[in-house]
């Protein structure tokens, strides 16, 4: 499974949505209704899945699904 698909699955696990419903430009809070608690849960799941550290300050900068995918991709490349 590719990175983008897995990240989308984790987002949907947290938000109880369908992967097919997520567009790259969907805003996490405005379009998807992600709360700070949801974001915290997503970060914990992503850190466990990819064995990376995601500082809260970085996660708070994410606005869209594409931002999350890009961040995790960059983090893995530079690990």
State the pTM of this model: 0.94
Please state the CATH superfamily assignment of the domain spanning residues 3-16+24-77 in this structure.
ACP-like (1.10.1200.10)
Question: 19: Cβ–Cβ under 8 A, 6 or more apart, which residues?
Answer: 5, 8, 9, 12
Helix ranges, 2-78 (H): 3-15, 36-50, 56-59, 65-77
Residue 52 reports pLDDT greater than 90? yes
Please give the Cα distance from 10 to 6 (Å, whole number): 6
Give the separation between CA 60 and CA 52, rounded to whole angstroms. Answer: 16
Q: Provide the pLDDT for residue 43.
A: 98
Q: What is the pLDDT of residues 8-51, one digit of tens each?
A: 999 999 999 999 989 999 999 999 999 999 999 999 999 999 99
Could you state, in order of their start, the residue ranges of all structural domains in the chain? Answer: 3-16+24-77
Query: According to the model, what pLDDT value does residue 3 have?
Result: 95
Per the listing, tokens 């995918």 go with: 69
Residue 79: predicted pLDDT:
79
């Amino acid at each position: 499974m590719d990175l983008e698909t897995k990240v989308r699955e984790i987002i949907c696990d947290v938000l109880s949505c369908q992967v097919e419903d997520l567009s790259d430009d969907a805003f996490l809070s405005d379009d998807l209704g992600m709360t700070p608690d949801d974001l915290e849960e997503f970060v914990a799941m992503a850190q466990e899945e990819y064995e990376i550290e995601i500082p809260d300050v970085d996660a708070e900068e994410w606005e869209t699904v594409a931002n999350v995918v890009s961040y995790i991709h960059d983090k893995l490349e530079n690990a």
